[in-house]
Amino acid sequence: MPHREHFSILVIEDNEGDFVLIEEFLLSEFEDATITHAQNYTVAQKLLVEKNIPYNVVLLDLSLPDKNGIELIYEIVNYSGNVPIIVLTGYIDFEFGVKSLSLGISDYLLKEELTALNLYKSIIYSVERKKITATLEESEKRVRSFAKQLSEIVEEERSRIAREIHDEFGQQLSGLKMSLSSLKKHADPSNDIEPVIDALLLDVNQSISTIRQIANELRPALLDKLGLFAAIEWLVNQFQNKSGIETRIYIDIDQPPIDKSVEINIFRIFQEVLTNISKHANASLVNIRVENNNGVVNMKIIDNGRGIKSSTLHNPMSMGLLNMTERANLIGAKLNISCSAQTGTMVELIFDVNVKERVPNKKALYY
Ligand SMILES: Nc1ncnc2c1ncn2[C@@H]1O[C@H](COP(=O)(O)OP(=O)(O)OP(=O)(O)O)[C@@H](O)[C@H]1O
Ligand SMILES: [Mg+2]
């Protein structure tokens, strides 16, 4: 029984005979179909750009007089937006078919095997699949935007707490220290109070440095004052002192201007990578390199430890690793993690400082 719903179909086909056959198949399956015919790429592109008719599906012949193959696919995928594209072609090329699917094509049919029914099925499946994908993409977008907001709120809150601790406690302890110093100056040397004051001063100094440490760990002041690279050097220094792992850092550029929201995400990625090394790697050496290739900053952290198991790397429950990937996606950076039991782990972060508008990568939430 023919399909009742209205369907608008763009057929991009230069061969008149093939078009007539396709049209016949379509009309036998769709009761209410508007079929638009484009005989070449130029006409098809114009029709897709004008978007006068919201097409439900595009049928595409792969060898047109003015464009063909992969290049044609790229262009039509680009101009079709969310409209599913089904490739109809005359030559049997399975590999090419599979590749075209990964480029955004919904289905790949051979003209020699085409029947009204398999064309109909392919169209209906492709349209339904596209709807499901669009819904998934939409909900993924919402999750990402929520994650971004959450991360900004957490950072703001950390900043606020760090400021309060530093300013309030810090000031009070500094006041106490001054009072103790003044007390010491005016103390009567005859009544043995001086050693007690010295011990108190020692405690107060210790508390001041602990408070500085806590505030810095919550939100490194250096990051806001001197920028990302200075904060990374500070972090690496802290890491080396605490873990005892020899760490070499090489930064071949001056810090380029980087957006604050990007800086904090990169800093948190570094923090997680270094924490992971001290917790899990059993490494004796860490090499960090920051290089600049015409504005594309490449950051590598390499440890010579036991490496991350591939099953762990792809486990969606590895929250630290997942957060790193999410943070990189959020700022439009690329994060590669490669590892082996022989050579250890390498985490590589690549981002272009010249990109003004940071669009999150379209990468899946779980990798
Ligand atoms: N540099 C590394 N060398 C060896 N193994 C690593 C390294 N980094 C991570 N791993 C392994 O990957 C696992 C997942 O890391 P992930 O950061 O996601 O979680 P975690 O560090 O165990 O916990 P969390 O980060 O949530 O506190 C770790 O448990 C560890 O087995
Ligand atoms: Mg971790």
Ligand 1 neighbourhood includes 279 CB (under 6 angstroms): yes
- Mutating to test ligand 1, I would choose from 308, 317, 337, 338 the residue with most ligand atoms within 8 A of its C-beta, which is 308
- Mutating to test ligand 1, I would choose from 269, 270, 274, 276 the residue with most ligand atoms within 8 A of its C-beta, which is 276
* 150 CA distance to ligand 1 middle (Å): 23
pLDDT grade for 315, boundaries at 50, 70 and 90: confident
Q: Is the pLDDT of residue 245 over 90?
A: yes
Percentage of the chain exceeding pLDDT 90: 50
Domain count, the chain: 3
Ligand 1 neighbourhood includes 321 CB (under 6 angstroms): yes
Ligand 1 neighbourhood includes 345 CB (under 6 angstroms): yes
> Which residue's CA lies nearest to atom 3 of ligand 1?
281
Same domain flag for 346 and 245: yes
Ligand 1 neighbourhood includes 305 CB (under 6 angstroms): yes
What is the per-residue pLDDT for 341?
78
> Which residue's CA lies nearest to atom 5 of ligand 1?
308
φ, ψ at 183 (rounded to 5°): -60, -40
Same domain flag for 163 and 298: no
Same domain flag for 362 and 229: yes
Tell me whether residue 191 is in a domain: yes
Q: Is the pLDDT of residue 11 over 90?
A: yes
What is the per-residue pLDDT for 185?
87
Arithmetic mean of pLDDT, 5-33: 93
The C-alpha torsion from 357 through 338 and 296 to 327, rounded to 10°, is 30
| Highest mean pLDDT of the ranges 90-104, 159-173, 268-282 | 268-282
Arithmetic mean of pLDDT, 227-251: 92
What is the per-residue pLDDT for 132?
92
Tell me whether residue 284 is in a domain: yes
Q: Is the pLDDT of residue 367 over 70?
A: no
Same domain flag for 143 and 175: yes
The last residue of one of the domains, among 114, 147, 181, is 114
- Compute CA distances 344 → 233, 266, 305, 337, 356, whole Å: 22, 21, 4, 11, 35
* 149 CA distance to ligand 1 middle (Å): 25
- Whole-number Å distance between alpha carbons of 281 and 120: 55
Same domain flag for 82 and 169: no
The last residue of one of the domains, among 194, 219, 244, is 219
* 35 CA distance to ligand 1 middle (Å): 56
Show Cβ contacts of residue 112 under 8 Å, excluding neighbours closer than 6 positions. Answer: 90, 92
What is the per-residue pLDDT for 359?
55
Ligand 1 neighbourhood includes 260 CB (under 6 angstroms): no
CATH at residue 352: 3.30.565.10
* 237 CA distance to ligand 1 middle (Å): 21
List, as one string, the DSSP characters of 278-333: IIII--SEEEEEEEEETTEEEEEEEE-SS---HHHHT-TT-HHHHHHHHHHHHTT-
The string of pLDDT tens digits covering residues 347-356 is 999 998 877 6
Same domain flag for 249 and 196: no
φ, ψ at 185 (rounded to 5°): -60, -40
> Which residue's CA lies nearest to atom 17 of ligand 1?
320
Please give the residue range of the domain that contains residue 231: 223-367
Arithmetic mean of pLDDT, 237-241: 92
What is the per-residue pLDDT for 202?
95
Tell me whether residue 133 is in a domain: no
Ligand approaching nearest to the C-alpha of 321: 1
CATH at residue 28: 3.40.50.2300
What does the mean pLDDT of the chain come to?
88
* 362 CA distance to ligand 2 middle (Å): 24
> Which residue's CA lies nearest to atom 2 of ligand 1?
281
The string of pLDDT tens digits covering residues 64-94 is 999 988 899 999 999 998 899 999 887 666 7
Same domain flag for 227 and 367: yes
Same domain flag for 177 and 272: no
Ligand 1 neighbourhood includes 341 CB (under 6 angstroms): no
Ligand 1 neighbourhood includes 262 CB (under 6 angstroms): no
- Mutating to test ligand 1, I would choose from 278, 280, 317 the residue with most ligand atoms within 8 A of its C-beta, which is 280
Same domain flag for 101 and 34: yes
pTM for the model stands at 0.68
Ligand 1 neighbourhood includes 278 CB (under 6 angstroms): no
Same domain flag for 167 and 266: no
What is the per-residue pLDDT for 356?
61
- Whole-number Å distance between alpha carbons of 163 and 170: 10
Ligand approaching nearest to the C-alpha of 309: 1
Tell me whether residue 123 is in a domain: no
Tell me whether residue 125 is in a domain: no
The string of pLDDT tens digits covering residues 150-165 is 888 988 898 889 888 8
Ligand approaching nearest to the C-alpha of 317: 1
Task: Decide if 314 contacts 367 (C-beta within 8 A).
Answer: yes
Q: How many CB atoms lie within 10 A of CB 327?
A: 23
Tell me whether residue 266 is in a domain: yes
The last residue of one of the domains, among 219, 240, 256, is 219
Tell me whether residue 121 is in a domain: no
* 127 CA distance to ligand 1 middle (Å): 41
Ligand 1 neighbourhood includes 286 CB (under 6 angstroms): no
pLDDT grade for 364, boundaries at 50, 70 and 90: very low
Tell me whether residue 74 is in a domain: yes
What is the per-residue pLDDT for 176?
93
Same domain flag for 23 and 90: yes
Same domain flag for 157 and 237: no
pLDDT grade for 170, boundaries at 50, 70 and 90: confident
Ligand 1 neighbourhood includes 209 CB (under 6 angstroms): no
